Chain A
Amino acid sequence: MRAIDTLLSGDLPRSRLLALALGAILFALALAPFLFPGTRSLDVAAKVCIFIVLVASYDLLLGYTGIVSFAHTMFFGIGGYGIAIAMTRLDAGWSALAIGTAGALAVSLVLSLLVGLFSLRVKAIFFAMVTLAVASFFAILASQLSDLTGGEDGLTFKVPEFLRPGFRLLDEPVLGVVFGGKLITYYLVFTSALALFLGLLRAVNSPFGRVLLAIRENEFRAEALGYRTVVYRTLANCLSALVATLAGVLYALWLRYTGPNTTLDFAIMIDILLMVVIGGMGTMYGSILGTTLFIVAQNYLQDLMKMASGATRGIPLLPDLLHPDRWLLWLGVLFVVCVYYFPLGIVGRLRHGGARKG
């Protein structure tokens, strides 16, 4: 128990139901290749791992510091393009991966520092507008510099041999699972995501995180206590950008591709916002629940609706309403219901309920 407390930086779920849900998700992700064999389900599991990190890093900004930024996908994209450019221009080995990652982190650090220092002094709405403009500019730049970025087509690249799908660690499958490059890449993604998430959890539960919460509550009061809020807000902006960049690296590594549609699209920014809100802002654990629910719904709602539509054949109107083509409508309804019934997000609701009972 003490080890778990240390691992979670003293920030325990504080709700039995939440702990169960988090444990189930961790278990499912850790054993995804064995529990859900198949390319599609492994793709979904890897995307959940990566987006948990991306959403958690955005929660550091929005939920913990009260900063609304629309440039998060830009940093996600920088990570993806960083390794994609390095892998296509250099030998597709570990050194290129390291150079690409380091380069992407450096670019993200400089950009986030500049955006932070120049615009975090202004009011929240103006900062949001600045980040929107910078992100749009970067997306246009990525599609225009086609020699470097592959333009609208993006970049497909080779990964180190150890991570290639054709690589085999064992000749024979174990428990029906091929021990090859895909599996190794999945566990690289999983362990990196877990480490990054725990790192973020440590950051928000440190004295630094406490000051961020104070700034979110009341910036002037934090200043009256002697805290330079611009410095803290800029640091939060940089940390969040760096983690988003690493998430971008992992995503590109998993897909062996990066392009505007997988990282820089504004729709991804909206998805991140929804995942943070549904999970619960300022909770970190919310990113796990919000992301899992969202991505699973995004991938499997159509299948579920197809089944439901078939099962309700003969009943008037219902099969049409449940037709798989209307999955976006139901996804929208699901979000409205979530926001209406869980204004503090799922984690906020679970913790609040737990506190009342306790």
Chain B
Amino acid sequence: MPEPLLTLAGVHTHIGQYHILQGVDLAVPRGELTMLLGRNGAGKTTALRTILGLWKASSGSIRFDQAEIAARETPDIASMGIAYVPETMGIFAGLSVKDNLVLAARESALDEARLENVFRFFPALRKFWFLPAGLLSGGQKQMLSISRAMIEPRKLVLIDEPTKGLAPAIINNLIEALKELKQTDTTILMVEQNFHAARSLGDGVAVMDSGRIVHTGRMADLAADEALQTRLLGLSLDVHQ
């Protein structure tokens, strides 16, 4: 197994009086796509937000690219090469599609080759280039959100349920785009409930329950073992499509 790019050790996160992450231990191998699965309320989104510093870990260690980042501020962590695609799409609705992508590219100008690649998967973005992003459909907003992670080279991309609420045709587009992203040696940690997407994309898998990692392994092994799925997730992944 490749060496981990990201390692969480004994991470606890409190949100107000609630103790959400209760000692998360997780290693995300470099260059792989790791699926983070679990029932609703298991702490998956909180884990992603804690890695990015949007929630501060109350204790434990988060190491990224051999640097301790648990105490760092969000902009510092993002500047180290981590992109975040939140469940709520996280676009700037009042800004144009172009401005959303330019912002994601930060200091540098848009890379033409990467932009063409984005347009190849999501042609709608070219069509609505100057339109305020808030006027896009739900699927197009998600495309824009994913594109922001693709427009600049990143070491790690955190993606939270990218296929949620999307039509099957758009999901297939997203899967192809994420496969392309994988080819660039980008490490991805992704929360996903759609089994088809999870099986198509996942290399490794980690399952969360009650704020802890209760299983780690290969995605293909979990996909092939219905009994394990039922034990870990409460029901077979086939039902999650």
A218 contacts B92, CB within 8 Å? Answer: yes
Query: What is the CA–CA distance of A214 and B84 in the complex, to the nearest angstrom?
Result: 16
Q: Which residue of A lies closest to B131 (CB)?
A: A355
A207, A210, A218, A224: the one contacting B78 at CB < 8 Å is A224
Query: What is the CA–CA distance of A220 and B92 in the complex, to the nearest angstrom?
Result: 11
Segment touching A, from B14-22, B93-101, B185-193, B202-210: B93-101
Chain A neighbourhood of B137, CB < 8 A: none
A210 contacts B99, CB within 8 Å? Answer: yes
B103 contacts A225, CB within 8 Å? Answer: yes
Q: How far is the CB of A228 from chain B (nearest CB, A)?
A: 5
B106 contacts A225, CB within 8 Å? Answer: yes
In the assembled complex, B197 has its CB within 8 A of some CB on chain A: no
A226 contacts B95, CB within 8 Å? Answer: no
B93 contacts A224, CB within 8 Å? Answer: no
A210-B102, A211-B103, A214-B103 given; A224·B84 CB < 8 A: yes
B54, B94, B99, B107: the one contacting A224 at CB < 8 Å is B54
A223 contacts B75, CB within 8 Å? Answer: yes
Chain B neighbourhood of A224, CB < 8 A: 52, 54, 74, 78, 84, 86, 90
Chain B neighbourhood of A216, CB < 8 A: 94
Among A210, A218, A221, A225, the one with the most B-chain Cβ atoms within 10 Å of its Cβ is A225
Query: What is the CA–CA distance of A50 and B103 in the complex, to the nearest angstrom?
Result: 33
B75 contacts A213, CB within 8 Å? Answer: no
A207-B102, A210-B95, A210-B99 given; A221·B90 CB < 8 A: yes
Q: Mark B16-42, 1 if CB is under 8 A from A, else 0.
A: 000000000000000000000000000
B contact face: mostly helix, strand, loop, or mixed? loop
**CB-contacts of A199-225 with B (<8 A):** 207, 210-211, 213-214, 216-218, 220-225
A213 contacts B78, CB within 8 Å? Answer: no
Chain A neighbourhood of B5, CB < 8 A: none
Q: Mark B102-116, 1 if CB is under 8 A from A, else 0.
A: 111011000000000
B92 contacts A226, CB within 8 Å? Answer: no
B95 contacts A217, CB within 8 Å? Answer: yes
B54, B73, B78: the one contacting A225 at CB < 8 Å is B78
A213, A227, A229: the one contacting B99 at CB < 8 Å is A213
Query: What is the CA–CA distance of A211 and B100 in the complex, to the nearest angstrom?
Result: 10
B92, B99, B106: the one contacting A221 at CB < 8 Å is B92
Q: How far is the CB of A215 from chain B (nearest CB, A)?
A: 10
Chain A neighbourhood of B86, CB < 8 A: 221, 224
A217 contacts B93, CB within 8 Å? Answer: yes
In the assembled complex, B66 has its CB within 8 A of some CB on chain A: no
In the assembled complex, B241 has its CB within 8 A of some CB on chain A: no
Q: How far is the CB of B48 from chain A (nearest CB, A)?
A: 11
Query: What is the CA–CA distance of A217 and B133 in the complex, to the nearest angstrom?
Result: 12
B106 contacts A226, CB within 8 Å? Answer: yes
A213 contacts B74, CB within 8 Å? Answer: no
Query: What is the CA–CA distance of A221 and B75 in the complex, to the nearest angstrom?
Result: 10
B78 contacts A214, CB within 8 Å? Answer: no
Query: What is the CA–CA distance of A220 and B54 in the complex, to the nearest angstrom?
Result: 8
Q: Mark A225-258, 1 if CB is under 8 A from B, else 0.
A: 1111100000000000000000000000000000
Chain B neighbourhood of A222, CB < 8 A: 103
A210-B102, A224-B84 given; A217·B74 CB < 8 A: no
Chain A neighbourhood of B79, CB < 8 A: 226
A227 contacts B94, CB within 8 Å? Answer: no
Query: What is the CA–CA distance of A234 and B77 in the complex, to the nearest angstrom?
Result: 21
A217-B94, A218-B92, A220-B54 given; A210·B103 CB < 8 A: yes
Among A217, A226, A227, the one with the most B-chain Cβ atoms within 10 Å of its Cβ is A226
A213 contacts B95, CB within 8 Å? Answer: yes
Query: What is the CA–CA distance of A224 and B95 in the complex, to the nearest angstrom?
Result: 16
**CB-contacts of B74-89 with A (<8 A):** 74-75, 78-79, 84, 86
Query: What is the CA–CA distance of A24 and B47 in the complex, to the nearest angstrom?
Result: 57
**CB-contacts of A118-162 with B (<8 A):** none
**7 further contact pairs, Cβ within 8 A, besides A213-B92, A214-B92, A223-B73:** A207-B107, A213-B99, A214-B95, A217-B94, A223-B74, A224-B84, A226-B78
Residues of B within 8 A of A (CB): 52, 54, 73-75, 78-79, 84, 86, 90-95, 99, 102-104, 106-107, 148
Sample of 28 A–B contacts (CB below 8 Å): A210-B102, A211-B103, A213-B92, A213-B95, A214-B95, A216-B94, A218-B90, A218-B92, A220-B74, A221-B91, A222-B103, A223-B73, A223-B74, A223-B75, A223-B78, A224-B54, A224-B74, A224-B78, A224-B84, A224-B86, A224-B90, A225-B106, A226-B78, A226-B106, A227-B75, A227-B103, A227-B106, A229-B75
